[in-house]
Amino acid sequence: MQVQDFEKLFQDRIDKEVKIEPKDWMPEAYRKTNIRQISQHAHSEIVGMLPEGNWISRAPSLKRKAILLAKVQDEAGHGLYLYSAAETLGMSRDEMINDLHSGKAKYSSIFNYPSLTWADMGAIGWLVDGAAILNQVMLCRTSYGPYARAMVRICKEESFHQRQGFESLLVLSQGTEEQKEMCQDAINRWWWPSLMMFGPKDSESTNSDQSMKWKIKRKTNDELRQQFVDMIAEQIKVLGMTLPDPDLKWNEKRMHYDFGAINWEEFWNVVKGNGPCNKQRLEARRKAHEEGQWVREAAMAFSNKQKVKASAA
């Protein structure tokens, strides 16, 4: 059979909603784009622990601390599921991590913004996890089997993350004047970067067309972004707060909210490594990796010992 025949059979399977599994034939570009997306997703979960990790020791109560700690641990677990899913496509975890540390691999722009106050923990849970969920619910049906299955588990945890964020902001929104201001300020700072999480607008999205054909993505960046705006524009009413967008308005004709222009220059600047915290985030990850070297060595030594024992038995 010619390559074109394989490609046709492959596309037929995708069109029939049959999942692609690690040992199946796949076009090299399908493998590469999945490695790119899944590893970037994994890096985002791991780097994404940093803005919230910053507040674990300063949470205002034991209850809040336990919730935040559990959430940050969940993100670590998500990163590990996703690295495992990407490894099934033939790239080693070491290579992926080297690419993150060298700045070659991307991770979500959102984690390059600072978490300045306690209210940021609520805003991250509500807005950042809220945006992540919409994207990830779609990915539960992505065409690559190991990625889709990882997403099912991840989504269950993400919905708890979003709820705890909303509830934390709800408490602040009903508190003192100072707490209300802190709540509004956090929403103001996280709103626009959250909209950027969905990626460039469709007309600028280099990967979307092919990823939609291969059903890696099921909805475009702009479709998901609109879904997010429609959801949050309603939820904010419960908080009695406002979104920092004078152009946000229900459009009866479109049956969607209209919203203002996103600052794409800021987005690309952050993606290229020049956001407020890019350098700090990568330094923190490199340091954690170096400091964990002895743990990896000890684990390898233990595993080798077990293998020797097993072969002697």
Using CB under 6 A as the criterion, which residues of the chain lie in contact with ligand FAQ when the complex forms?
Answer: 36-37, 40-41, 44-45, 48, 75, 106, 108-109, 124, 128-129, 132, 135, 196-200, 205-208, 211, 217, 221, 271
CB of 211 to ligand FAQ, least distance (A): 5
CB of 32 to ligand FAQ, least distance (A): 10
Residue (109 or 226) nearer to ligand FAQ, CB: 109
Residue (159 or 207) nearer to ligand FAQ, CB: 207
Q: Which residues contact 196 (CB under 8 A, 6 or more apart)?
A: 109, 110, 262, 266, 267, 270
**Whole-angstrom Cα distance, residue 197 to residue 48?**
12
**Whole-angstrom Cα distance, residue 88 to residue 284?**
27
Residue (99 or 180) nearer to ligand FAQ, CB: 99
Residue (40 or 173) nearer to ligand FAQ, CB: 40
Residue (176 or 206) nearer to ligand FAQ, CB: 206
Residue (146 or 200) nearer to ligand FAQ, CB: 200
Residue (102 or 306) nearer to ligand FAQ, CB: 102
CB of 36 to ligand FAQ, least distance (A): 5
Residue (116 or 300) nearer to ligand FAQ, CB: 116
72, 99, 178, 277, 313 from 284: Cα distances, Å? 15, 15, 32, 11, 43
CB of 184 to ligand FAQ, least distance (A): 21
CB of 290 to ligand FAQ, least distance (A): 22
CB of 208 to ligand FAQ, least distance (A): 5
By beta carbon distance, the residue nearest ligand FAQ is 48
CB of 107 to ligand FAQ, least distance (A): 7
Virtual CA dihedral for 116, 72, 233, 206, nearest 10 degrees? 100
**Are 9 and 132 in contact, with CB atoms under 8 Å apart?**
no
CB of 262 to ligand FAQ, least distance (A): 11
